Amino acid sequence: MIVVTGGAGFIGSAIVWKLNEEGIDDIVIVDNLGTSDKWKNLVGRRYVDYVHKDRFAEMINADTVPFEADGVIHMGACSSTTERDVDYLMENNFHYSCNVARWALKKNIRFIYASSAATYGDGTQGFSDDDATSRTLKPINMYGYSKQLFDLWVLRNGLESQVAGLKFFNVFGPNEYHKGDMRSVIHKSCGEIGDTGRVRLFKSHRAGYGDGEQQRDFVYVKDCVEVVRWLYHHRDVNGIFNVGTGQARSWNDLVKAVFTAMGKEPIIEYIDMPESIRNQYQYFTEAGMDKLRAAGYGEVFHSLEEAITDYVTNYLLTTDHHM
C-alpha cells in the first residue's frame, strides 16, 4: 500500500498516474478536496481509498491507521507562494509534515517528500542541494520558508540518511489547471494565445537581462514523477535532492515553444513588472543536479521544447486536459 498525500493535486495526481502505469493501484489518496475541481484529477485513476487530510492526521496521532503502508509519498501542502496566513502554513506545511514523517519512520515506511526550489530565496547563495548549503538558505516568501523549516527539521534530526526530499524547480504539465494564479506560464499563455494571439511577459528591470530573458529551470511533471518512482524503488538512496533539468531557459524560449506547438507565429508584448514583486523577483534559477546523478539516477529529462510540445498538443489543445 502506498499513501500519496496531496494525491489529487498537481504533482500528487501525476504520481498516482505513474504508479497506475506501473500496474500499482494499492494506493490511498490523502487530500482536502473541498469545493475545488481537483477531484477531476482522480477520474480515471485507480486507488483503493480517499482520506481527508485531517482524518489522516487523527489516525496517525491515535495510531489507528487501518492499513499497513509500504511507502508514503508526501506531496500535500499549500503551494501558494503568495499565501499570507503564516500560522496556517506552519501547521499545514511544517507540523503536518513532521507528524507524517514520524509515523512513517516509526513504522519503517519509505518516506519521500516535496521540498521546493523556493527554499533558495533570491538565488544569491546559488542552487546547490548539499546539506551545508541547505542549512543556510534564506527564503523570501512564507511558502519557501515553510519548506525550508521541514528540510532543517530533517537535517537537525539526522534523517537525511533515512528519507528522500525533493526540491522541485519550476514544474509544469497536465493536471495543474486548478491552481489558479499558481498555474505555469505555459498553461496561462496557451489560453492567452488562443484568446488574443499574443503573450505578455515582464520587462527586465535588471542590467544584463533583456526583456523576457529572465531564466528559470523549467521541468516537466512527467520527469518529476519519474524521479519519485525511481526513489521509491531505490530505498537505499536518501537525502535532499534538486529536481530540475539542470539547464536554465528564458521566458522568451518558453512562450516561443508554446507558439510553435500551437502552429502560430510568436507575438510577445513586454509589460512593466509590478513594483510589489520587483525586489524579490528571481532573474535566474538552475538546479544543480550532480547529487541526484551521483546517487545513480540516469534518466534523461525532456528538453523544454519536447515537454511543451507534448503538454500543449496532447493535453491543453484536447478536450480532456488530464493525465
Q: How many residues would you count in the chain? A: 323
C-alpha cell read off for 54: 485531517
Beta strands in the chain (DSSP E): 2-5, 27-31, 49-52, 71-74, 110-116, 164-168, 170-172, 199-202, 215-216, 218-220, 239-243, 249-250, 268-271
Beta-ladder partners of 51: 30
DSSP 314: I
For 2-172+218-246+283-302, which CATH superfamily applies?
A: NAD(P)-binding Rossmann-like Domain (3.40.50.720)
Please tell me the predicted confidence (pLDDT) of residue 69. 97
pLDDT for position 86: 86
Residues of the chain with pLDDT under 50: none
Residues annotated as catalytic are 143, 179
Nine-digit cell string for 47: 486507488
pLDDT the model gives residue 266: 97
Please compute, for residue 11, the number of CA atoms within 13 A of its CA located in the half-sphere on the CB side: 33
